Amino acid sequence: MEYLLTYDVDTTTTEGQRRLRRVAKICEGYGIRVQKSVFEVTCTTAQMPSLRQQLADVIDHTLDNIRLYRLATGTLQTVDRLGVAQLAPHHGDHIV
Amino acid sequence: MEYLLTYDVDTTTTEGQRRLRRVAKICEGYGIRVQKSVFEVTCTTAQMPSLRQQLADVIDHTLDNIRLYRLATGTLQTVDRLGVAQLAPHHGDHIV
């Protein structure tokens, strides 16, 4: 399954900066970072609840903002790009 | 057509900060901002080349990074969200 995960974490406090690092670290276990706050995720349907729960445990639900877009298979290999954007080297499910 | 547009614009210079504002302004004409660097875009296939060209005219192709993900119809109304993320109020094509 392909997903696009985007986040805005409020970093106006030290605690927020810590949350941002933790969110990024979690995402790194499930996908490839393609922009500062954008990860391309490939995982199975069964693995998605684990990713979601880890994020829910870390964020401040009154300040932070995470969106998870389900993509059609193949979208990550055909994404339209401008500037320095590159295709990410996905090879099946990315759980590490 | 539904798209997700994400960008990283290099803002280490005044010129970069200007590009960032211009990119955001262009995107506002085609979609709804849902995060700092993420827009949900609804437009026709015919309108997409215009959006793409406007962005290409503005960015620094050696520094900035724009990605345009094609989404299946209905994705924007079913996006999974955590924290303060809300569904955006799309009503068909958004060109203003």
The ipTM is 0.92
Dihedral angle at the C-alpha atoms of B55, B73, A32, A49, nearest 10 degrees? 150
Average model confidence (pLDDT) for chain A? Answer: 94
Which residue's entry shows tokens 């870390």?
Answer: A58
Q: Report the chain A residue with the minimal C-alpha distance to residue B84.
A: A65
Q: Which residue range forms the structural domain that includes residue B55? A: 2-71
Q: How many CB atoms neighbour CB B62 within 10 A?
A: 8
What is the percent of chain A with per-residue pLDDT over 90, rounded to a whole number?
89
The whole-number pLDDT of residue B86 equals: 93
Residue B80 lies in a domain: no
pLDDT at B45 > cutoff 90: no
Residue A52 lies in a domain: yes
What is the percent of chain A with per-residue pLDDT over 70, rounded to a whole number?
95
Residue B86 lies in a domain: no
For chain B, the distance separating the N- and C-terminal CA atoms, rounded to the nearest angstrom, is 16
Which residues of chain B does A38 touch, with a Cβ-Cβ cutoff of 8 Å?
6, 37-38, 67
The whole-number pLDDT of residue A45 equals: 86
pLDDT at A96 > cutoff 60: no
Residue B14 lies in a domain: yes
Which residues of chain A does B61 touch, with a Cβ-Cβ cutoff of 8 Å?
82-84
Q: What is the mean pLDDT of residues A44-62?
A: 95
Confidence band (pLDDT; 50, 70, 90) for B93? low
Domain count, chain A: 1
Q: Which of B25, A58, A63 is nearest to B33 (CA)?
A: B25
Residue A7 lies in a domain: yes
3-state secondary structure of B35: strand
Which residues of chain A does B4 touch, with a Cβ-Cβ cutoff of 8 Å?
4, 6, 69
CB contact under 8 A, A38 and B38: yes
> Quick one: how far is CA A15 from the chain centroid?
20
Q: What is the mean pLDDT of residues B16-32?
A: 97
**Total beta-carbon pairs less than 8 A apart between chain A and chain B:** 126
Residue B87 lies in a domain: no
* Contact (CB, 8 A) for A6 and A37: yes
d(C-alpha A44, C-alpha B30), whole Å: 33
Confidence band (pLDDT; 50, 70, 90) for B91? confident
SS3 content of chain B, % helix, strand, coil (to 5): 30, 30, 40
How far away is chain B from the Cα of A37, in angstroms, using its nearest Cα?
A: 8
CB contact under 8 A, A82 and B37: no
pLDDT at A95 > cutoff 70: no
The whole-number pLDDT of residue A23 equals: 98
pLDDT at A92 > cutoff 70: no
Q: What CATH number is attached to the domain comprising B34?
A: 3.30.70.240
Average model confidence (pLDDT) for chain B? Answer: 94
Q: What is the mean pLDDT of residues A52-74?
A: 97
pLDDT at A22 > cutoff 80: yes
| Angle, alpha carbons A64-A42-A39 (nearest 5°) | 35
Residue B11 lies in a domain: yes
CB contact under 8 A, B82 and A52: yes
